[in-house]
Amino acid sequence: MTRSVTEAAVAARVAAVDLAQRTRADKDRALRAMADALEKRSAELVAANDADVRRAVEADTDPGIVDRLTLTEERIAKIAEALRSITALPDPVGEVVRGSTLANGLELRQVRVPFGVIGIVYEARPNVTVDAAGLCLKSGNAVLLRGSSSAKESNTALVNVLREALADNGFPADAVQLVLGDTHDSVTELLRARGLVDVVIPRGGASLIRSVVQNAIVPVIETGVGNCHVYVDADADPELAIELLIDSKTQRPSVCNAAETLLVHKDIADVFVPRALDALRAAGVTVHGDARIAAYAADPADVVPAQQADFEDEYLSLDIAAAVVDSLDEAIAHIRRYSTSHTELIITRSQAAAREFTARVDAAAVIVNASTRFTDGGEFGFGAEIGISTQKLHARGPMGLPELTSTKYIVIGDGQTRAKNANT
Amino acid sequence: MTRSVTEAAVAARVAAVDLAQRTRADKDRALRAMADALEKRSAELVAANDADVRRAVEADTDPGIVDRLTLTEERIAKIAEALRSITALPDPVGEVVRGSTLANGLELRQVRVPFGVIGIVYEARPNVTVDAAGLCLKSGNAVLLRGSSSAKESNTALVNVLREALADNGFPADAVQLVLGDTHDSVTELLRARGLVDVVIPRGGASLIRSVVQNAIVPVIETGVGNCHVYVDADADPELAIELLIDSKTQRPSVCNAAETLLVHKDIADVFVPRALDALRAAGVTVHGDARIAAYAADPADVVPAQQADFEDEYLSLDIAAAVVDSLDEAIAHIRRYSTSHTELIITRSQAAAREFTARVDAAAVIVNASTRFTDGGEFGFGAEIGISTQKLHARGPMGLPELTSTKYIVIGDGQTRAKNANT
């Protein structure tokens, strides 16, 4: 295909009109067919992926990134299984969000409807291609997938398989389209396709998201930058605090809901900080501490002096910034200053402190006494997620199927006019 | 005040932190105090307004616009009453949107929280200044009001009264700020204040809204452009169709939910069109019809030949475009092509036609057998409205207080980690 983004978007709009009217049974059948096709053709997919992997290795790409790029038959089976699991989720389309009968007898219903056309801009992982296609299909949306050029062969092969499965099952193939382009021009075109694309969701690092937000004139849902804090309150159980800190930081350090900064109330610092430093060292974590944290280090080399940037940026690695604060107020002020409003955790036995922290900290998820790693669509029970919104408009936090829909009001009357039957 | 927009936005953010924690009782008290202050100082407000009105008259402004700009003691009393009526609305902040206890015992609640800082860009009517301030205050948001320079004296006086009432009642005055500026620079600064302004809502004509959308890098909620259609189905009751057409077109032609195009099914055209032309003429409406409509005119001068633009644009006046269509499908296709997705009406006795129209027409409101004029926050029972969203992200249709909020997830645990207690 050598379609321009605009041509692809026009074709997607046509497909979207069809998709919006499909029943759940129809869509679930297509999802199962897509999963089956991926498994059946996994040798072909692995071969296409090999080309991307070889290119990445030749370009001296970080082994972690090469690993995430790699498809194997087992991984394809998992991707297919994830598609099948979407069939178990309720169809958001048609859900009545609210409804009432007005004083003049008008029957009012607010009903979920698909957005129409969703653009996803994402980085190397090919599983996102299939996940996003599945979630958009189930929510009745056509999708324009703009993956990175480093996964070009893999994404092309995956999308071809999905499109054939759709066409074989009476769905428009253009419900799922890959948007290619070696430069950033195709992204820009996508971000400016107002009237054709209803929303663009960037999935990736901070710089990708910043660039999308700056350039878009279509609506955007920002996702996934998480400068998450763990605040250990004066009234924390030190044992529990260590356990939650280690899980939040190390259970999977490269993801957006991993902890990046530790704040410790001064009244518990003597008890907690030495043990925390030991536990973090044992877990392979480098601590970037302020002077008050450094004062607790058995060996001065155990704490790297923290700079401003340590508190500002995500590490996404086995590093953590750390500071002692004089009060809950100071902790909240620190979080307000540096937070990306993703996930913020307080560890405390105090009901008053928990209440104040949850009320005053403004983030997608505010957690009391549990790991930051729980901010996740799967963990929240939403099934698969398309990303974690860190903006306040439309969706905030893990986005499941309902977040991929808009609504419309359906109003049924029997001749009401404002002249005769106004409610106001 | 000679604050820049950015300075005003920074002050608004500080105020927003305070506002977010206020109880409903507190906010309702402030709203009543604002209403009382407006009434008490109405002579001063009328005097300030006089200056704007005099300038408008000298500039040969359209009398309708001058009328909408004008404040009298009676109008100020009405504006104050509208503020008091906001106290009767429930506080959206703190509402639990959904909640559950997860398999691992985590208690999950999604709770409404204020956006923070809302920017409103609007045209001449000074009542919007007070309405918007009241709705933002009740929903816990600070507001930056960017009114038009033609209402500068009125808006300055109104905002001063509101700010003093807030300060007298222990609220931060910076919860309500007027953003001045003779050029469009202040609008541009507002639209680029990312991180300071959470959302901008433009209220006004199509060109204002287009300019805001093109220039904003902060999130925007588009409002109020309504190219609304009345479709008279083959199975319509002609009597009812005339009544709904006349109400939709003439009950208040200058507003966004007024009808702008009439589509008539060919099978009912013989019966309906001649009567519709009579009724529209009697109501003072000029019909811009296609050839099939014109064929029904008793006097050819009764129908002006319709151009493409007649179907594309809002009239906001006593004019209507009109066409005969061969089928429900053709009506839906016409609406899909020209609609601004505000309000679309079908008049029919057929359950099948009503069901198909409501399912396939994608608009903020799809109405069966009632006037288009019902798409309104007050008429829908939401109390006051801040505008009618015609976009799909976040809010669609009339926006009441809940639409001025975001949400956050509050998660309460007792030591859950992903390592030990993952749900997935």
Please write the tens of the pLDDT for every residue from B28-71: 999 999 999 999 999 999 999 999 999 999 999 999 889 989 99
How many CB atoms neighbour CB B237 within 10 A?
19
* Neighbour tally for A295: CB within 10 Å: 13
Whole-angstrom distance, CA of residue A348 vs CA of residue A183:
50
Of B134 and B3, the one with more pLDDT: B134
Residue A231 φ then ψ, to 5°:
-105, 120
b/e per residue A146-161 (b: at least 16 CB within 10 A): bbbebbbbbbbbbbbb
Rounded to whole angstroms, the Cα distance separating B312 from A114 reads 25
- Note the pLDDT tens digit of each residue in A388-400: 999 999 999 999 9
List all residues of chain A from 74 to 133 with a beta carbon under 8 Å from chain B: 100, 102-103, 106, 108, 110, 113, 115-116
pLDDT band at B110 (very low <50, low <70, confident <90, very high): very high
Q: Give the model's pLDDT for residue B213.
A: 85
User: Are A331 and A272 contacting, i.e. CB atoms less than 8 angstroms apart?
Assistant: no
Q: What is the DSSP letter of B361?
A: -
**In the predicted structure, residue B184 carries a pLDDT above the cut 70:** no
pLDDT value at A122 more than 80: yes
Pairing of strands A387-389, B319-325: unpaired
Which site among B232, B368, B374 would you substitute to test the A interface, given the most A Cβ atoms closer than 10 Å to its Cβ?
B374
Which A positions 244-303 lie with beta carbon below 8 A of chain B? 244, 247, 251-252
Amino acid at position A394, single letter: H
Confidence of residue A304 (pLDDT cuts 50, 70, 90): very high
pLDDT band at B125, cuts 50/70/90?
confident
Q: What is the ipTM of this complex?
A: 0.94
Q: Which residues on A lie below 8 Å from B407 (Cβ)? A: 396-397
Close Cβ partners of B140 (under 8 Å, ≥ 6 residues apart): B16, B19, B20, B22, B27, B93, B113, B114, B405
Mean residue pLDDT of chain B comes to 95
Q: Which residues contact A208 (CB under 8 A, 6 or more apart)?
A: A121, A123, A202
How many angstroms separate the CA atoms of B375 and B388, rounded?
A: 8
Question: Each residue of B193-231: pLDDT tens digit?
Answer: 988 999 999 998 888 888 888 889 899 999 878 999 999
- Answer for the pair B361, B330: CB distance below 8 angstroms, yes or no: no
Write down the H helix ranges in A87-231: 126-138, 152-168, 185-191, 206-215
Residue the block writes with tokens 């490269």: A254
* Contact of A254 with A222, CB cutoff 8 Å: no
Higher pLDDT, B116 or A187: B116
Using DSSP's 3-state secondary structure scheme, residue A191 falls into helix
Task: Looking at the complex, report in whole angstroms how far the Cα of residue B54 sits from the nearest Cα belonging to chain A.
Answer: 33
Q: How far apart are CA B146 and CA B178, in angstroms?
A: 6
* Residue B85 parent element (H or E): helix B73-86
Q: How many CB pairs under 8 A join A and B?
A: 221
Res B414: pLDDT? 97
Is the per-residue pLDDT at A146 higher than 80?
A: yes
A-facing residues of B in 339-398 (CB < 8 A) are 354, 358-360, 362-371, 373-376, 378-381, 391-394, 396-397
> How far apart (Å, rounded) are the C-alpha atoms in residues B221 and B223?
6
Is residue A175 a contact partner of residue A142, using CB atoms and an 8 Å limit? Answer: yes
Whether A396 sits inside 8 A of B415 (CB atoms) is no
The shortest CB-CB distance from A392 to any of B115, B360, B410 is to B115
Kindly identify which residue of chain B lies nearest to residue A410, measuring between CA atoms: B366
Our CA-based measurement puts residue A116 at a distance from the nearest CA of chain B, in whole angstroms, of 9
Q: Is B111 helix (H, G, I), strand (E, B) or coil?
A: strand
- Non-local (6+) Cβ contacts of B362 within 8 A are A20, A113, A116, A408, B336, B341
Does residue A1 register a pLDDT over 60?
no
